[in-house]
Amino acid sequence: KQEVTQIPAALSVPEGENLVLNCSFTDSAIYNLQWFRQDPGKGLTSLLLIQSSQREQTSGRLNASLDKSSGRSTLYIAASQPGDSATYLCAVRFVRGQTGANNLFFGTGTRLTVIP
Amino acid sequence: NAGVMQNPRHLVRRRGQEARLRCSPMKGHSHVYWYRQLPEEGLKFMVYLQKENIIDESGMPKERFSAEFPKEGPSILRIQQVVRGDSAAYFCASSPLRTSGLETQYFGPGTRLLVL
């Protein structure tokens, strides 16, 4: 069964700290992995997309890594700010998706709070 | 270039009524995906459509739910005879023409359905 798991479910850090969010997936045969941000009552904003052939992607203070063989990805946020407070979702497109390869499998997210 | 648009943003229905959720993909996108996010859960794939075609509906509940993406106009997710368990956020995403499953999905702001 293909699953995506995110740990921790919630995280609180003081402003300025660097932090790491974790995502694990059960099948290493993937097309890509995507990190999203979801603000309360809002839609999803795509942060980073890592193709299966890539090891990492960077955008500003964000860096996402991918280790397909171990089924893991991390999202690193440097110098966290109160505006980073949101839920971060990891989503995987599996090659042999149970519901086809057309859709994303989402984790349940990590709710991040950055304390000023 | 407007993003993915969904309306209404909030919808309240009484048990037994019908709910119609609309999604207009980004300009130039011909693929639409619907996801459902139940309270405190991750997003779950429901259906994948192209214009006038349902490509993959393996995530749709067997009864009461249907989706369409006509040649003209928005994609519609229709829920008949709603029950309280249908209360959720329904997200639509769109993508351009597929290229080996590498395309990014762009998400709309969601429709929050509340069934009383």
pLDDT-based confidence at A97, cuts 50/70/90?
A: low
pLDDT at residue B1 tops 80: no
Nearest to A108 among B42, B100, B105 (CB): B42
pLDDT score for B108? 93
Pairing of strands A4-7, A19-25: antiparallel
Q: Cα–Cα distance between B11 and B17 in angstroms, integer?
A: 12
Q: What mean pLDDT value characterizes chain A?
A: 91
pLDDT-based confidence at B61, cuts 50/70/90?
A: very high
Contact A25, A33 (CB under 8 A): yes
Of residues A95 and A48, more confidently modeled: A48
Binary contact (B107, A100; C-beta < 8 A): no
Q: Count CB neighbours of A83 within 10 A.
A: 9
Name every chain B residue with its beta carbon within 8 A of the beta carbon of A108. Answer: 40-42
Q: Show the tokens assigned to B16.
A: 């037994």
Nearest to A43 among B41, B42, B109 (CB): B109
pLDDT-based confidence at A104, cuts 50/70/90?
A: confident
pLDDT score for B55? 87
pLDDT score for A43? 84
The count of CB pairs under 8 A between chains A and B is: 70
Contact A102, B48 (CB under 8 A): yes
pLDDT-based confidence at B4, cuts 50/70/90?
A: very high
pLDDT score for A101? 58
CA quadruple B71, A42, B113, A4: dihedral sign: positive
A101 touches chain B (CB under 8 A): yes
pLDDT score for B8? 97
Which residues between 10 and 39 in chain A have a beta carbon less than 8 angstroms from any beta carbon of chain B? 31-32, 34, 36
pLDDT score for B41? 82
Binary contact (A104, B43; C-beta < 8 A): yes
Binary contact (B104, A106; C-beta < 8 A): no
User: Could you read off the pLDDT of B16-37 as tens digits, one per residue?
Assistant: 999 999 999 999 888 899 999 9
pLDDT at residue A46 tops 60: yes
Over residues A63-71, the mean pLDDT reads: 95
A108 touches chain B (CB under 8 A): yes
